[in-house]
């Protein structure tokens, strides 16, 4: 019985550590938007209309994701993660 309780305790601690080390949903959403924007800005397109469509798609995605985070703190986290991801995109494409 003591071994079972100890095993469950270790399992619970391990799960807590591993889940807290991953990216939050806010960070994932911000990266998704930034990658879409990066694609629209740096990807070579065959015609200007295609580039415009990619940019509009990026802006719609940004608006959609921002609506998810209505609290000030979540919106702030989203925008910080978004800016960081955009900066990483710029560095990759310079």
pLDDT tens digits for range 42-65? 877 777 788 888 888 888 998 998
Q: What ranges do the domains of the chain cover? A: 24-93
Residue linked to tokens 């800005």: 41
Question: Is 0.85 surpassed by the pTM of this model?
Answer: no
Q: Return all residues near 30 (Cβ < 8 A) that are at least 6 apart.
A: 65, 78, 79, 81, 82, 84, 85
Which residues in the chain come in under a pLDDT of 50?
6, 8, 11, 14-20
State how far the alpha carbon of 38 is from the alpha carbons of 17, 18, 66, 80, 85, in Å.
32, 30, 18, 16, 9
| pLDDT on residue 22 | 59
State how far the alpha carbon of 83 is from the alpha carbons of 8, 24, 32, 38, in Å.
40, 16, 12, 12
Token pair, residue 94, equals: 């310079």
């Amino acid at each position: 019985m003591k071994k079972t309780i100890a095993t469950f305790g270790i399992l619970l601690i391990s799960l807590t550590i591993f889940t807290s080390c991953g990216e939050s949903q806010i960070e994932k959403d911000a990266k998704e938007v930034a990658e879409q924007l990066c694609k629209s800005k740096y990807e070579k397109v065959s015609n200007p209309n295609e580039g415009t469509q990619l940019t509009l798609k990026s802006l719609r995605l940004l608006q959609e994701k921002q609506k998810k985070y209505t609290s000030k703190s979540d919106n702030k986290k989203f925008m910080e993660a978004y800016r960081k991801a955009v900066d990483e995109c710029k560095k990759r494409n310079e």
